[in-house]
Amino acid sequence: MRVALFVTCINDMLHPRTGQAVVALLERLGVEVGFPTEQSCCGQPQFNTGYRHAAEPLMRRFDRAFQDYEYVVTPSASCAAMVRDNYPRIGAKAAAERRGRGLVDAAAVAVPKMYELTEFLVDVLKVEDVGASFPHTVTYHPTCHGLRVLGLGDRPRRLLEHVEGLELRELPGAEECCGFGGTFAVKNPAVSAAMGADKVRHILSTGAEVVCAVDNSCLLHIGGTLSRRGAPVRPVHIAEILASTEGSVR
């Protein structure tokens, strides 16, 4: 099994610990992880803001970087969704614009090997108990792309429920968007802030010490809002919880 980590640009720059956690976790589960250094951004910010053409070279780069791997695993539901949902769309549009079928083929290769981390754990490795220990109260925010585009369902929850010492707290209004939405946060700052404020209010109502998610971009927005309020809740990517062996008695 040849597995590559697609760390994503945001994690590479701002959340290296999440990438490190994925490596630690997968290696603990006996998976040999590669990191092709020619990888870069999936093109989601460009595509979602309307710059489809700017996403095309990144799509080709993705294809090149991961061509030798059977599986590509990423700790970002929205980047996985970008590859799975939008790469075929970009390929089809390029073909419709008579620019050849290169991107159609690139998408066809990329889509089946792309896995979000929790999906890979549950569907491919078939594990729910990853041997983690995290003695804290945690609430889980199911991100929009994880929930609706990838259809992660209860996979992340099942993984969390097996973490030793972890107490999962129900998040009210869990399925509602946190208001980040990439450039939406900048283009519609008032609505984004209002959505973020409501999400944070719900998080605080759980009394949990930690809010976790399958995407650091949402946690960036939620964490930034929590921090501005001086709230003590820590945003932690689910990979870091699943890799944790804090206070393990096993």
Q: Interface residues for another protein in 26-55 (CB under 8 A)?
A: 27-28, 35, 37-41, 43, 45-55
**Amino acid at site 168:** L
Give CA–CA dist 99/103, Å, rounded: 9
Q: How far apart are CA 147 and CA 138, in angstroms?
A: 18
Question: Which of 88, 165, 182, 231 touches another protein by CB under 8 A?
Answer: 182
| C-alpha torsion sign, points 89, 92, 97, 102 | positive
Q: Encoding tokens for residue 92? A: 């089809």
Q: What is the DSSP letter of 164?
A: B
Contact status, residue 116 vs residue 159, Cβ threshold 8 Å: no
Q: Among 12, 128, 164, 167, which residue interacts with another protein (rule: CB under 8 A)?
A: 12
Q: How far is the CB of 5 from another protein (least distance, A)?
A: 9
Q: In this structure, how many other beta carbons lie within 10 angstroms of the beta carbon of residue 203?
A: 26
| Interface positions, 117-136, toward another protein (CB under 8 A) | 134, 136
Q: For the window 52-91, what string marks contact with another protein as x by the rule CB under 8 A?
A: xxxx-xx--x---------------------------x--
In the complex, what is the shortest distance from the CB of residue 123 to another protein, in angstroms, rounded to a whole number? Answer: 21
Choice between 119 and 240, CB closer to another protein: 240
Closest approach of another protein to the CB of residue 147, in Å = 8
Number of residues that bind another protein (CB under 8 A): 83
CB contact at 8 A, 20 and 5? no
